[in-house]
Amino acid sequence: MARSVPWHRGLASSVVLGGFLVYLAWSVHPEWAGVLLALAGVVSASLLRRRADALSRSAAPIPLVVVLGIVAVALPKTTSAEILVGGAAVLWLAWLADDPRRRPGGVARAIPTLAIVGFTVVVAWGSSTLLAYGSVSLGVAAVLLVAVVALVSILVARPELIRGEEAASS
Amino acid sequence: MSGEAPSFAWTSLTFLLVGAGAVLLVVGVAARDPVPLFLALPLLVAPPVAALTGMHRSAEFGLRWGAFGSAQEVRVSGVVTPVNAEDAPDLVVGFTRPASLVESRAPEVAWGEGEVTFRLHWAAPEPTVTTVLPPTVVWRDPTGLAERRATRAHDPIPVERFPPELLRLGGVRLEHTLALPGETPSHRIGPSGEFFGLREASPSEPPRRINWRATARTGRLLANEYEADRTGDVLVIVDARPTPLGRSIDERLLGVARAAAFGVADSFLREKARVGYASFGEFLDPVPLAGGRVQRLRIREAIRRTELARTGGPSERCAVAARRFFPNGVTTLLFTSLAEETTFDLVPHLRRRGYPVAVLSPSPLPLLPRTPPLDPRSEQLVERLERLERRSRVARAWQDAPVIDWQEYWSLGSLVNLLRHPGRGRGV
């Protein structure tokens, strides 16, 4: 007999992610099949992660990965599609953080991780959009991206490194 | 104490993310489509970011916990206090329930300021002696991608549930097997032993117990009280050999027998008796006669490691080996299910070597499954036949020693009666 979960736990993130996926699916093909696919993915994932057994809970993210993958392959090759798909992935990470079986407020606690991942997506999208195409610029962008992500992660993990010296008490 | 497990680990979710990210990367490159690449990027970046942002976190914790309740109820509650209070919201606490306990209500876990409290509601359907392992505590990144495990180990807590009548068992007078018995006083006040004090005499007080000098001094009837000597020695033997009933039922019967054996040993040790314990599977695993708290721990450990043997040893081996560790004449309680022909031989072998035996036989009838389901009339017939067969087995064993047919696992009044009044016939 496992702990029962209040029905409203984790609902907000499911609604936001579901809405975003429905929007993406509708923008690919304005037909109900894509919308139904997105809704089925979100609903099944949300139901699975509320189940008592650990196996079902660990399988809960799979339907969403599948739906995201299908949508990403089906989307047209536009710069807006790139950033939208990246945003959907960040939203999916936020959905993971809003686990109904853990202490509420998971999304707030995951903000450092989500912000760095989102920042990475934005930097990558910006460099691919703004830089002229070429192997040299691609390499430079990749190295810069990795370095910046590592640096920001370490700074977030060790806030004392960026804290200034304490004012001396007179 | 410190564990050997590494403190950092990826969760299965990370492997899902990395796998999905790799597939999307391949699809994006193969199709020369940047959109799947932008989906793959967050999936591949998130795990290392989660690990880096959580690298100063820790799952090391302090634990205050205990097992409470009585009879069948087992409540385990406690407080997990992480070393760093800010890590408490992301601590994930897991529990391992012993096989002999069942869950009666869902566990309650609550995150407070700098601590996690938990309350587990279990029940013991049958008497049991078991241990509850400390909860597993991990600090898990809020997205669930990386985790840090605690490396400091905590001690398990014992859970002992046995029939309450066994607490009265310590008053039974046992045979001494020492040359100079009575050197160790018990906590009991009794009719004989060392002088303890005076008390008001009751109307039915025997004249020998009246202290006439004190009575003359005070002008009212006063009686002597004595600190009873140690009651004697008892040997508890648990038959851990397999029977045709099958491993599952054998293990449950053995669990019941272990709990009763612990209750008996505990009760006599409280009264300063010397208690020995032995389990017999393929070979005898003995704890020689001794008294005191350390002996209680020794017996508890021996009972915990008593498991159903894969192969049963011959009964004579048990009796021969017992002779090496225990003096003859010691009152012997044998716990056996009497479900196998060889278990009947054990009693005569023990008696032949000078051990006065009483048998406590946990009955397998309450545990027998009913498959396939029968109509009520056939069910009654089957139950009656099983009862008759059981009765014939118990009667056969009675030819060698008194036998308690133990069917109500939460009651052992019949054993107490048999030991208090050995000459009064069957304690069934």
Cα–Cα distance for residue pair B393/B386, rounded to 1 Å: 11
Which helix (H) or strand (E) segment is B239 a member of?
Answer: strand B233-239
Cβ–Cβ contact B123 with A under 8 A: no
Model confidence pLDDT, tens digit, residues B118-162:
999 999 999 998 889 999 898 999 999 988 888 778 889 999 898
Q: What is the mean pLDDT of residues A114-129?
A: 87
Six-digit token string for A43: 């609903």
Q: Which of residues 2-31 of A touch B (CB under 8 A)?
A: 2-4
Cα–Cα distance for residue pair B396/B58, rounded to 1 Å: 63
Cβ-defined contact of A72 to B42 (cutoff 8 Å): no
Cβ–Cβ contact A142 with B under 8 A: no
pTM of the model: 0.73
Residues of chain A neighbouring B52 (CB-CB closer than 8 A): 150, 153-154, 156-157
Q: Rg for chain A (alpha carbons), in Å?
A: 20
The predicted pLDDT at position B371 comes to: 67
Residues of chain A neighbouring B39 (CB-CB closer than 8 A): 68-69, 72, 85-86, 88-89
**Whole-number Cα distances in Å, B339 to A71, B237, B253, B256, B311:** 65, 16, 11, 15, 15
Q: How many Å lie between the alpha carbon of A83 and the closest alpha carbon of chain B?
A: 7
The string of DSSP letters for B290-314 reads E-SHHHHHHHHHHHHT----SSPPP
Cα–Cα distance for residue pair B97/B106, rounded to 1 Å: 12
Is residue B1 very low, low, confident or very high in pLDDT (cuts 50, 70, 90)?
very low
Cβ-defined contact of B144 to A3 (cutoff 8 Å): no
DSSP symbol at A143: H
Task: Tell me if residue B428 falls in helix, strand or coil.
Answer: coil
Task: Determine the residue of chain B that is closest to A108 in CA distance.
Answer: B142
Task: Determine the residue of chain B that is closest to A62 in CA distance.
Answer: B16
The predicted pLDDT at position A164 comes to: 47
- CB A42, CB A66: distance < 8 Å: no
Model confidence pLDDT, tens digit, residues B197-222:
888 998 888 888 899 999 999 999 99
Which distant-in-sequence residues (6+ apart) come within 8 Å of A164 by Cβ? none
- CB B86, CB B94: distance < 8 Å: no
Instruction: Tell me which residue of B81, B142, B84, B136 sits closest to B112, measured CA to CA.
Output: B81
Model confidence pLDDT, tens digit, residues B262-304:
999 998 888 778 899 999 999 999 999 988 889 999 999 999 9
Q: Which of residues 42-61 of B touch A (CB under 8 A)?
A: 42-43, 45-46, 48-50, 52-56
Nearest to B90 among A3, A109, A153 (CB): A109
Which helix (H) or strand (E) segment is B159 a member of?
Answer: strand B157-161
Fold of B233-420: Rossmann fold (3.40.50)
Cα–Cα distance for residue pair B69/B159, rounded to 1 Å: 10
Model confidence pLDDT, tens digit, residues B352-388:
998 999 999 999 988 887 766 778 888 888 889 989 9
Interface confidence (ipTM) of the complex: 0.84
Q: Cis peptide leading into B207, omega within 30 of 0?
A: no
Task: Tell me if residue B360 falls in helix, strand or coil.
Answer: strand
Mean pLDDT of chain A: 81
Cα–Cα distance for residue pair B392/B428, rounded to 1 Å: 13
